[in-house]
Structure 1
């Protein structure tokens, strides 16, 4: 199946000499949600801007549903909806007119029923006759989303869509994103709220200093790169660990009342069973045990640190 977006050896060097992107290769599949993570200045917005035709690449190619973004710009751009970081709205227009006009820009026939549904989905219906000037920042962000969806794009870019917005909008947006995916829309989002990516993304890409460090299915990424930790609460505190436990990577914490054991998620759990058995043989009485796994945020931080 043809990918929704195919990026090959994409680079961007600005006139100042700064290289924003270094040979990016990436395929984004139809109907998936890809979360693109990276620190400020990593190149996320530059990459999105090139795909959407707002910035020219220095080298490489991008195809949107097979359409080259340079040679077949109109066809490629018509497939894309973009919600940028910055608010760009027509201050003196009404919400209804702004969203309807955005649909017309792509040569789409008027569809009042669609516009009504978008405004209701984004809790904007009661504001449909209000001028953008009168809206709060959160409401303006909702209008930006409605504008991006007005021409029924097959691919939607959300560039830090929930930065600085209220919890209600974030909830409405992610509900809408899930419905769009059910309709087959491909969604690419950048976010600083990594827990959002962990909850909603199918795949996760990490970019730093213009280089794509990794792209992996979320579950597989956490399986490969995540760590698990076993905490053993003891009935009696230890001053030191017995030498018989030396083959394990253990730490004493809490004044000797806890033993902490970190292990790779790709390893088998048999290490835990043998550890507990060895604790019993050493006469160490266990009060309680608990396990926890590293989050996507932990993995992201580690990847960025390693890339530096």
Structure 2
């Protein structure tokens, strides 16, 4: 299937020599939720701004639904909705008016039913007559999403969509994003909230210092790079790890009541069963055991740390 967003060798160098993006190439599949992870200053917002026609690239090409963003700007931009990180909207306009105006900007005919549907989906219907300045920060964020959806885009960019919002609103937005994806909208979100990517994304890209260092299916990424920890609650405390268990690189808790083993998720079949058999042979008993899987945060920190070490 042809990608809905196709980015090739994209670079951006600002005045003064700062290189915000370095030869980024990426395909976004139609109908997926793609999460772009990276710390502040990694280049996430610059990448989105170029695709949306706000920033001019220094080199490279971008196509949105087959339309070059420079040569065929109008057609490309019509297919894209953008929810920026910063809240920019007319403080004195009522909610209904500002959302309807955004629809008209893209040449879409007036459609009260569509505007009503968007406002209801975002729990804004009761606020439709309220001025923007009267709304809470979370409600203003919802209005920004409503404006981005007003012209019925096929592609929706969410730049740090839940920055500064409470947990309840974050969950509401996650549910909305899933509904949009189910309706056929392609979602690209940037975030430094690891749980946001872990909760929603189909694929994850990691960007650091302007370079796209990894793109992977979320679950495949966790299987490939994730680690697990086995914790054994010992029947009797031990002073040291027995010599007979040295091949597993085990550690004891401070109170000597737990034995811990960190291992590659891929080695689980061979590592853990053989460890438990050896413990049984040595007469070491345990009352309980638990395993923990690495999160995307652990993986992200590991990737960026490795990158820094190689650069050094």
The TM-score, its normalising length taken from structure 2, stands at 0.96
Q: CA–CA distance in 2 between the matches of 1:169 and 1:293?
A: 27
Counterpart in 1 of 2:220? 220
Counterpart in 2 of 1:103? 103
Q: Following superposition of structure 1 onto structure 2, how do residues 143-292 of structure 1 map, counting pairs within 5 Å?
A: 143-292=143-292
Q: Give 4+ residue runs of structure 1 displaced > 6 Å after superposition.
A: none
CA RMSD between the two structures: 1.0
1:144 match: secondary structure: helix
Q: CA–CA distance in 1 between the matches of 2:96 and 2:241?
A: 69
Q: CA–CA distance in 2 between the matches of 1:47 and 1:58?
A: 12
Matched, 1:29 2:29: yes
1:173-226 CA distance string (max 9 Å, x none): 111111111111000001222111101100011101000010100000000010
- 1:21 deviates by 0.3
Stretch of structure 1 that moved more, 265-274 or 298-307: 265-274
Q: CA–CA distance in 2 between the matches of 1:193 and 1:268?
A: 28
Q: CA–CA distance in 1 between the matches of 2:138 and 2:127?
A: 12
- 1:133 deviates by 2.1
Q: CA–CA distance in 1 between the matches of 2:130 and 2:240?
A: 70
- 1:302 deviates by 1.1
Q: How many residues align?
A: 308
Q: Following superposition of structure 1 onto structure 2, how do residues 36-115 of structure 1 map, counting pairs within 5 Å?
A: 36-115=36-115
- 1:115 deviates by 0.4
Q: CA–CA distance in 2 between the matches of 1:250 and 1:72?
A: 60
Check conservation: 1:142, 1:169, Cα contact below 8 A. no
- 1:60 deviates by 0.5
Stretch of structure 1 that moved more, 269-278 or 105-114: 269-278
Q: CA–CA distance in 2 between the matches of 1:89 and 1:301?
A: 35
Stretch of structure 1 that moved more, 284-293 or 166-175: 166-175
Q: CA–CA distance in 2 between the matches of 1:20 and 1:271?
A: 43
1:204-258 CA distance string (max 9 Å, x none): 1110100001010000000001001111111111112222212112112233221
Stretch of structure 1 that moved more, 80-89 or 258-267: 258-267
Q: CA–CA distance in 2 between the matches of 1:36 and 1:75?
A: 25
The TM-score, its normalising length taken from structure 1, stands at 0.98
Counterpart in 1 of 2:301? 301
Q: CA–CA distance in 2 between the matches of 1:82 and 1:194?
A: 21
